[in-house]
Chains A and B, each alone.
Chain A
């Protein structure tokens, strides 16, 4: 429950700021600041302590809104970009890279969506002879906070009128009500991230159950929305092949293949600096038990393990979900 909202002075009269504040019925503490960095970027803060009671920061996103994505992370497109209208997530996954990336676990929301639209449309224009892929959900969960952010209602219309652009909304949530109110469009992929249920229960704190997420996917698929399946990171566990196969089977029983746009998976991987920060702040947590190796500044599984996991994942996916492209997100 959010009790404190920090607001940058420059957007205190922004219509979206007022809309967001009006959604908090309970009395909240509003504190004004000149720049979000005064709170969010302070080095000495403790991500884990703050995570117990994060505040919301409303700010204006300055500078570039779109960032290139390496080709190896694509889902079939050549022009790939990610954008972050929000930093940090309401869930608390023990492996989450955000805890190594940001100083703060407060939710930082950029309210100037219109500036994102301008940059997205400019990029679409630049790439008019080929499809452009736009990924949301790198620095946050695209849908989990939608009740507050109104992200779906604002961003889907941009893609409704730009058929040459594909939007991926990546989520672990079941917040699909707003999407269901829109007429489905072929160029929006609602991509759900999964780990097998027993892993999720243990380390993906506050995340809805696998069962509930499959139901959400099913509802979207039934209405004609394209679904993405994301198994990233792949997490080692007892009965690895068995529990991942069960997950793929449960999904395939509920979601018709022709509703699935793509499948991607990737191994756990962290840049060195990020990994060190995560380890420092999570002593005694399961993340310390993962046997990750440093290879060229990236901490990940050994090549032998990677190969083993990849083979199992490919094999089991192909067994249950046919004719859907599978992408391996490699660093």
Chain B
């Protein structure tokens, strides 16, 4: 892990956060705020929904270094992608306001990239080829006040598709998907922090 820049990670749920807290040996600062000062990683559990994500991102930004990198990690649905597949988000659209954010894609990675739509309620039908989640637009709205498009990124792991609906998601599955991808996330973060 690069020692140069600090990274602020926002996740919605505790079960998404646990494998990452273990991976990076993060210590609890307050109820939902964890960090490893040596590795310069901060993580906050925002709660579900874009408003919560925005609030938590702003809190994290105010509490941490000015030049920090921001990353949203979480689960998302897509009509066809395999469960557990990791995706780097190339565009975030807020379904309500229709506002879009475009994170700069500067890194050489084999990870699939796709756009994402943040919705207010869990999506049962997948009407487009984009991913669907409930937090990313709030995260981007908050983080982009503090950092440019190169330093605000989003990684999603597929939790549901047209063959396996959100009703099949369990806490154990979420932890398992994040845990399986933790090394890939770690490598990607190393790349992010090289800029």
Contacts and interface: CB of A to CB of B under 8 A. Distances in A.
A287 interface: no
Nearest to A3: B105
A225 B149 CA distance: 44
A46 B113 contact: no
Interface string A4-30: 101000000000000000000000010
Interface string A104-126: 00000000000000000000000
Contacts of A50: 104, 106, 150
A34 B104 contact: no
Nearest to A1: B108
Interface in B98-125: 100, 102, 104-107, 113, 115
A38 B91 CA distance: 11
Contacts of B147: 44
Given A29-B113, A52-B106, A53-B106, A34 B100 contact: yes
A39 interface: yes
Contacts of A34: 100
Interface in B46-90: 90
Contact of B90 (A31, A52, A53): A31
A198 B100 CA distance: 45
Contacts of A49: 104, 106, 148, 150, 195
A90 B45 CA distance: 42
Interface residues of B, number: 16
Given A31-B91, A34-B100, A42 B105 contact: no
Contacts of B106: 49-50, 52-53
Interface in A32-65: 33-34, 38-39, 42, 44-46, 49-50, 52-53, 55
B88 to A, nearest CB: 10
A264 B58 CA distance: 53
A191 to B, nearest CB: 33
Contacts of B148: 42, 44-46, 49
B115 A45 contact: no
B100 A42 contact: no
B149 A45 contact: yes
B150 to A, nearest CB: 5
B144 interface: yes
A3 to B, nearest CB: 7
Given A33-B102, A34-B100, A38-B100, A46 B150 contact: yes
Given A45-B104, A49-B106, A49-B195, A29 B149 contact: no
Contact of B100 (A4, A33, A45, A55): A33
Nearest to B146: A44
A38 B90 contact: no
B100 A29 contact: no
Interface string B141-157: 00010011110000000
A45 B106 CA distance: 13
Interface in B143-183: 144, 147-150
B102 A39 contact: yes
Interface string A276-289: 00000000000000
Contacts of A55: 104-105
A276 B148 CA distance: 19
B60 to A, nearest CB: 17
A246 to B, nearest CB: 39
Nearest to A39: B102
B47 to A, nearest CB: 26
A53 B195 CA distance: 11
Contacts of A53: 105-107
A44 B90 contact: no
A38 B104 contact: no
Contacts of A44: 144, 147-149
B150 A6 contact: no
A33 B104 CA distance: 14
Contacts of B149: 39, 42, 44-45
B144 A31 contact: no
Given A4-B90, A29-B90, A31-B90, A38 B102 contact: yes
Contacts of B113: 29
Nearest to B99: A38
Q: 8 smallest A-B Cβ distances: which pairs?
A: A44-B148, A45-B148, A53-B106, A49-B150, A39-B102, A4-B105, A31-B90, A49-B195
Given A39-B149, A52-B106, 12 more contacts: A4-B105, A31-B115, A33-B91, A34-B100, A44-B148, A45-B104, A45-B149, A45-B150, A50-B104, A50-B150, A53-B105, A53-B106
